Structure 1
Amino acid sequence: MMAVLRTLATGMLLAGAAVAHAADGVDSALVARGAYLAKAGDCVACHTAPRGKPFAGGLKMTTPMGAIYTTNITPDSDTGIGRYSEGDFGRALRRGVAKDGHNLYPAMPYPSYAKVNDDDVKALYAYFMHGVQRVKQENRPSDIPWPLNMRWPLKLWNAVFLDSAVYQAKVGKEAAWNRGAYLVQGLGHCGSCHTPRGVGFQEKALDERGSAFLSGGLIDNWFASNLTGDSNTGLGRWSEADVAQFMKTGANRHATAFGSMTDVINHSTQWLTASDLNAIAAYLKSLRAVGGNGGPPFQYDPEATQALLARPAGDPAGKVYATYCMHCHGLDGKAFAPMLAPLAGNPNVLETNAASLINVTLNGTTDLVIDGLPAAYPMPKFANVLTDRQIADVLTFMRTGWNNRAPAVQPLEVTKLRKATTEK
């Protein structure tokens, strides 16, 4: 219920940006455009703590070096960005350098925001200065110990990994493709989660020229899905309409959003225009297949369902599935999509890395809220119901059933992720 109220409150705040401070002579159209762009960037998801005020910061983010906390980006002059000029704002957004000169951690996706053009920076600045409520809330220092918390090495990191060029439309590509590329690579910062990281914790690619771009990545105990054209773990079997539907509603005939993607749907993509959603879909569907599980393209096999029926009644995995999973996901693995997520051919089920499946089984899902209405059948948590062995067995049952042909899950994988998410 709290997630629903938080989403509604945030939506009301953002919706009011169109008329914010109009009486003070501020360009309300520019503020409204900035509000839309802030949704495209999903700024509120990271800069709002649970039960906190929008954009006041304080959200805990886990990094390999320790926890950091997002900052207050309301226009408060003492604790927020109220004293930032438009130039200061743009430098922080696109270069990762705060007004006082200290470098921001690249958990702030400025390598993506570097692609944002000047006009959009101006609109965003207008919104954050005039369309966001001021909140006086001090920023919390990171938990990263000395000397790892020293900021000067980030200057070297930027010199090696930051491409500061604003996005330039690709010659020979349609306007919709270029718009989709701009949103995906820039404000949408999709690569921040969906592209694997290198030894310097940098994204291995920042656009479609890199073979690893959007091929999936492990982040914060979730595996962000492959968004390339791979037929099994990616979007190869999805149409452009499927992609747009998923971004608009959080579900389609192939999969349902969970994990941090729920926040993306709740606060960002469902609010985008149809033309922008279609542009993103067109761009994503143009990406060549990368990654995958190495298996042949998935095809549903009805005989595989019969094989499940024929398994011994005492099969532990089958008993767990029949008791806890079958009523929502179906004996045939097709469930009742898009209301309930299918398991047969679901890219998250077919993915080699099972982190997301383990995590969502242990911890369930937060509320997916579309147009103010929460999804009717959220995934419950089973951490206190099933043992690590039972979870490993039932996930293996799913990943090998219905012709899925995905690797088995080991109990030790569940044990490690249970510990990691309990300590978080």
Structure 2
Amino acid sequence: MRLPSLLPVLAATMCAMPVSAAYAQDDDLIKQGAYVAILGDCVACHTAHNGQAMAGGLSLQSPIGAIYSTNITPDHETGIGEWSFEDFARLMRRGIKKNGSSVYPAMPYPSYSSMTDQDLQALYAYLMGGVKPVKRQNRPTDIAWPMSMRWPLSLWRMVFAGKPIPEVASHEQNSLVARGRYLVEGLGHCGSCHTPRNFAFAEKARTTTEGRQYLSGGFVVDNWVAPSLRSDDVGGLSDWTVKDIVVFLKTGRNMKGATFGAMNSVVVHSTSVTNDHDLVAIATFLKTLGTSERAPAIHYRYDDMVSKQLYAGRTSSEGARIYIDRCAACHRTDGHGYPNVFPPLAGNPVLQASDATSIAHIILNGGKLPGVNAAPSLLVMAPYRDILSDKQVADVVTFIGRSWGNRGAEMTEAQVAQIRHATKGEEIPAGE
């Protein structure tokens, strides 16, 4: 298995360690920890764009302001080089740093609380003995006072993260479903993006046992809306097979859709280099999930009326005219696109959502489907920010969201203007 390009090779020289030095001198444990870091997607959040691996500085947009990921290299001054394993475990399971302060739940410690001792020890060994120390000061948040005060986070932790997720013992992970549950609910922290949040920005459900809101989608991350991972007939993975999910995680694309936004980094640095057994386990677990609480009692059915109209050159709306002019060459008049190259729009789960933010985001700022080992072709959609007006974007978003049987949301000119402003200066998300 080839590790992601941003994950450093195992260090040849060990630096001085704190109390738990033995962990960082065990080559087998370090190798295991490198894989745990892949499963936990550590590099994606803790590496700034064009920055050094694990040195932090990546901006994570929250509703109250930007939070910047921290330096988790073994540098003794600016990283975690002085942390013992006990310090590290307390952060991962309870969200408490070495100095006693609490971290923002942008760090998904509520999910990591289910990690086995073995995986925690391996990850610690890797960070201490397999990652190059980088001297880089942590950047303070852009959150204004009084929301920037840290002490309320301890209250948040007691109310919303006080009960750790039950640990799945190593021997139980021999079951595909149990292993998949451990990876999805714990290490992979999928609920951090794919589960809606409450008024305090806590996940409304952290596991399948806490309700059908778990992984039901709808949470907005950096102006992207994470879709449902449940078996919803409209907007979910009802018609995705285990193989469909595995192919998507391994390549970032399949016959039904393609990755975008923050999921690009997840595919590049985590799922594309996860072993096949674990990918099957994740997919098998996801297929055990029923519908969400808000799933509509309808089934998607392809409607060829719009396809026939577009093919004949008949356009009944401004959105249809824009689609013919700007979109049909890649996504076709029938909305089926060219699977594994240009994703289908007809029946695409993202286009069934009640919030069309992601679609407007892609049209305004473009998109990049990154190349990975199993699918090396890098595909780019150019931005239309400087070509289409807010009204034109709203028109075409509404058109594709309501064509070919899609049941997506309509979008207004004002909503597009808001997304345009919020994403100004944004680069095409590459995930690289």
- 2:264 paired with 1:262: yes
Bigger mean CA deviation after superposition, 393-402 or 241-250: 393-402
RMSD of aligned residue pairs (Cα, Å)? 2.5
Distance 1:172 1:236, change over 3 A: farther
1:365 maps to what in 2?
367
Share of identical aligned residues, percent? Answer: 43
- Give the whole-Å Cα distance in 2 for the aligned partners of 1:291 and 1:222: 22
1:291 is displaced (CA, Å) by 5.1
1:303 is displaced (CA, Å) by 4.0
Question: What are the equivalent positions in structure 2 for 1:291-306 lying under 5 Å apart?
Answer: 294=296, 296-306=298-308
- Give the whole-Å Cα distance in 2 for the aligned partners of 1:367 and 1:332: 22
Question: What are the equivalent positions in structure 2 for 1:261-280 lying under 5 Å apart?
Answer: 261-280=263-282
Contact 2:249–2:271 (CA under 8 A) maintained in structure 1: yes
1:11 maps to what in 2?
4
- Give the whole-Å Cα distance in 2 for the aligned partners of 1:318 and 1:79: 54
1:296 is displaced (CA, Å) by 2.1
- Give the whole-Å Cα distance in 2 for the aligned partners of 1:80 and 1:173: 32
1:417 is displaced (CA, Å) by 0.9
1:103 maps to what in 2?
102
Q: Secondary structure at the match of 1:67?
A: strand
1:55 is displaced (CA, Å) by 0.6
**TM-score (normalizing by structure 2):** 0.90
- Give the whole-Å Cα distance in 1 for the aligned partners of 2:44 and 2:392: 33
Contact 1:112–1:187 (CA under 8 A) maintained in structure 2: yes
The Cα offsets for residues 151-208 of structure 1, whole Å up to 9 and x where unpaired, read as: 1111111111112244236999981000000000111000000000001110000111
Output the amino acid matched with 1:32.
K
- Give the whole-Å Cα distance in 2 for the aligned partners of 1:349 and 1:98: 41
Could you tell me which runs of 5 or more consecutive residues in structure 1 were left unpaired when the two chains were aligned: 1-7
- Give the whole-Å Cα distance in 2 for the aligned partners of 1:287 and 1:26: 41
Bigger mean CA deviation after superposition, 393-402 or 303-312: 303-312
**TM-score (normalizing by structure 1):** 0.92
- Give the whole-Å Cα distance in 2 for the aligned partners of 1:410 and 1:336: 29
1:15 is displaced (CA, Å) by 6.4
- Give the whole-Å Cα distance in 1 for the aligned partners of 2:377 and 2:236: 24
2:152 maps to what in 1?
153
Contact 2:369–2:378 (CA under 8 A) maintained in structure 1: no
Distance 1:68 1:173, change over 3 A: closer
Question: What are the equivalent positions in structure 2 for 1:385-396 lying under 5 Å apart?
Answer: 385-396=387-398
Contact 2:113–2:186 (CA under 8 A) maintained in structure 1: yes
Distance 1:173 1:270, change over 3 A: closer
The Cα offsets for residues 317-342 of structure 1, whole Å up to 9 and x where unpaired, read as: 22211121111111111111012100
Question: What are the equivalent positions in structure 2 for 1:56-205 lying under 5 Å apart?
Answer: 56-162=55-161, 163-168=163-168, 175-205=175-205
Output the amino acid matched with 2:303.
D
Bigger mean CA deviation after superposition, 162-171 or 140-149: 162-171
- 2:220 paired with 1:218: yes
1:92 is displaced (CA, Å) by 1.0
- Give the whole-Å Cα distance in 2 for the aligned partners of 1:20 and 1:159: 42
The Cα offsets for residues 56-76 of structure 1, whole Å up to 9 and x where unpaired, read as: 111111222222211100000
- Give the whole-Å Cα distance in 1 for the aligned partners of 2:38 and 2:371: 15
Distance 1:58 1:22, change over 3 A: closer
Q: Secondary structure at the match of 1:62?
A: strand
Output the amino acid matched with 2:38.
K
1:12 is displaced (CA, Å) by 3.7
The Cα offsets for residues 340-360 of structure 1, whole Å up to 9 and x where unpaired, read as: 100000001111110111111
- Give the whole-Å Cα distance in 2 for the aligned partners of 1:299 and 1:386: 30
The Cα offsets for residues 6-47 of structure 1, whole Å up to 9 and x where unpaired, read as: xx9x82453623x75599992222111111110111111111
2:407 maps to what in 1?
405
2:348 maps to what in 1?
346
Contact 1:293–1:350 (CA under 8 A) maintained in structure 2: no
Output the amino acid matched with 1:52.
G
- Give the whole-Å Cα distance in 2 for the aligned partners of 1:374 and 1:292: 37
- Give the whole-Å Cα distance in 1 for the aligned partners of 2:63 and 2:142: 11
Distance 1:182 1:20, change over 3 A: farther
Distance 1:254 1:386, change over 3 A: same
- Give the whole-Å Cα distance in 1 for the aligned partners of 2:381 and 2:68: 28
1:307 is displaced (CA, Å) by 3.5
Runs of 4+ in 1 over 6 A off after TM superposition: 22-25, 170-174
Q: Secondary structure at the match of 2:25?
A: coil
Q: How many residues align?
A: 415
Contact 1:230–1:292 (CA under 8 A) maintained in structure 2: no
Contact 2:250–2:273 (CA under 8 A) maintained in structure 1: yes
Q: Secondary structure at the match of 2:384?
A: coil
Contact 1:230–1:291 (CA under 8 A) maintained in structure 2: no
Q: Secondary structure at the match of 2:249?
A: helix
1:311 is displaced (CA, Å) by 6.4
Question: What are the equivalent positions in structure 2 for 1:223-262 lying under 5 Å apart?
Answer: 223-262=225-264
1:147 is displaced (CA, Å) by 2.3
Output the amino acid matched with 2:158.
A
- Give the whole-Å Cα distance in 2 for the aligned partners of 1:138 and 1:22: 22
1:208 maps to what in 2?
208
Contact 1:20–1:28 (CA under 8 A) maintained in structure 2: no
1:283 maps to what in 2?
285
Bigger mean CA deviation after superposition, 140-149 or 279-288: 140-149
